[in-house]
Chain A
């Protein structure tokens, strides 16, 4: 009940383009100093956390825009450059194959998102909907692997990839992450929620199991697919350790490894590294702004799952 009051009063203080609300006016009589105070304190904290959150980005942005004569590290810091220049972005773009890195990241991310969606659904569908001999055994095996962290399996997986002749290839980067136990659980949850009648009527209409899966069942678990897609996107776009181990040709590096290279190669030129970091952030920001609702949902449902 208290909320709209604070809302309105603070809106006057902070955001003049006020677009609500008539019912609030009635409640405003109940205006209460203590509540305004608590609202203000909330905003002070919110702004403080915002500053802490964005200062690292602002510092990098300002560094990336600085000319050669601007000092980067100083006490007090200089956040607004004397000479604002885009030279650093141009230099990074010209010296490193940034578009190549971004393209590599996109390729790895597309496979890193699409394969788990399909393969985890393949695994989850029979586990959720079918009765067959061995189902419990399969399910037990799946659960057993949940306990084992990737750090333990990393070395043998590397040796297996090596034996299969996949070192340095994208297949070697993508395959071990193509299926996840978490994804199987998530999708199983989705498939279990579909009513029996849906399957029965599809079969009566003459669909075979393959068609039933693709045309009926798969589209019905869209919400879970969305969650899995977001979680896989975050994992794939930011993956670092595995590509570092598997890939050996710098031309095949995703942007995370490219940046790691950049940091090593230009450690003396902070401006260039900053420009590179900013370029790497842009796709993440675009995807986040476009799909923010789904990101939040994904985090919610991964929390509810636990």
Chain B
């Protein structure tokens, strides 16, 4: 009924776009990373020089460290917190649907807007320092302090993302048979016991999935750093993608930037593979 020309007819435009903007750029990026390409300079093959330069560059090491640090701050929180929120809004309480929508809303807000809002909250005379003043902590500028800048950015990401992962977990919670909870209650199980022995094992595949997705997101975060801190103070919030952006589009060192992006890609790949291994070991999947 279908002929090959039908198939290729439908595929032609999508394939051209994929070739032009995904396949070719992927190969080109790898090739570029072995050159010293700069828009103002003729292209020259330099072997592994960019990669060697990267590992010798203190800014690059700092950026890789910051990327991993940011991931460690963000992903565990985004894996665990939304489980509690999902359990909360999975109850048949009055108005619970409204709460779901409210919690989900920050996900839809542009990161630029979020960055602006939180740069005020984290200001020296801002609301967050006001709350901390109850605990006797003197106000300080979160985003101008090399120690607090990364935790502050992580808090923004967690604030923006928890509603998204809440929905993922909510979907997973639909698969938990209600009578298991009832049986556990009859046996006198409390809140923690109930969820640790019933909920967590059943939603385990989703926990791994959220870990993968939020890991990918954390390693690629960039807009927050650009809009809130410009990678500062003293490169304390310069992450790998921010460095790629800076090298490529401010310093116009496309070759070097490509090399950094490939190192980042390798790191993401390794972590994805580890995650995959963990997923495969999980009998529930």
Contacts and interface: CB of A to CB of B under 8 A. Distances in A.
Given A241-B223, A303-B171, A179 B108 contact: no
B258 A263 contact: no
A59 B245 CA distance: 31
Contacts of A138: 11, 15
Contacts of B170: 300
Given A148-B26, A299-B167, A306-B213, A39 B93 contact: yes
Nearest to B219: A149
Contacts of B127: 55, 59, 77
B73 interface: no
Interface stretch (A87-95, A115-123, A221-229): A115-123
A292 interface: yes
B14 interface: yes
Which residue among B88, B117, B171 has the maximum number of chain A CB atoms within 10 Å of its CB?
A: B117
Nearest to A52: B159
Contacts of B191: 38
Given A126-B10, A130-B2, A50 B112 contact: no
Is the interface on chain A under 10, 10 to 19, 20 to 34, or 35 or more residues?
Answer: 35 or more
Contacts of A149: 216, 220, 264-265, 268
A110 interface: no
A152 B129 contact: no
B11 A237 contact: no
Which residue among B14, B114, B170 has the maximum number of chain A CB atoms within 10 Å of its CB?
A: B14
Given A123-B14, A295-B108, A306-B213, A153 B103 contact: no
Contacts of A74: 125
B281 interface: no
B190 to A, nearest CB: 10
Nearest to B4: A132
A240 B227 CA distance: 10
Interface in A255-306: 255-256, 259-260, 263, 270, 273-274, 277, 280-281, 284, 288, 292, 295-296, 299-300, 303-304, 306
B151 interface: no
B64 interface: no
Given A42-B88, A129-B2, A119 B15 contact: no
A300 B209 CA distance: 13
B126 interface: yes
Given A259-B112, A260-B227, A73 B89 contact: no
Interface string A129-154: 11111010010011001011111111
B111 A238 contact: yes
Contacts of B49: none
Contacts of B25: 152-157, 160
B125 A73 contact: yes
A203 B269 CA distance: 45
A256 B110 contact: yes
A63 interface: yes
| Pairs of residues from A and B, 7 with the lowest C-beta to C-beta distance, nearest first | A3-B92, A73-B125, A156-B25, A156-B28, A123-B14, A153-B25, A126-B7
A259 B107 CA distance: 18
B254 A155 contact: yes
Interface of A: 1, 3-4, 6-7, 10-11, 14-15, 38-39, 42-43, 45-46, 49-50, 52-57, 59-60, 63, 72-77, 119-120, 122-123, 125-127, 129-133, 135, 138, 141-142, 145, 147-160, 175-176, 178-179, 181, 184, 199-200, 203, 209, 213, 234, 237-238, 240-241, 245, 255-256, 259-260, 263, 270, 273-274, 277, 280-281, 284, 288, 292, 295-296, 299-300, 303-304, 306
B100 A175 contact: no
Given A72-B120, A256-B113, A306-B212, 12 more contacts: A10-B93, A39-B93, A46-B96, A130-B6, A153-B21, A155-B25, A156-B24, A158-B248, A159-B254, A203-B1, A240-B112, A241-B245
Given A156-B32, A159-B254, A160-B25, A45 B88 contact: yes
A142 B22 CA distance: 10
A77 B268 CA distance: 42
Contact of A281 (B10, B23, B102, B113): B113
A175 B26 contact: no
Given A138-B15, A153-B26, A299 B168 contact: yes
A55 B120 CA distance: 11
Given A145-B18, A153-B21, A156-B32, A50 B102 contact: yes
B99 interface: yes
Contacts of B264: 149, 151-152
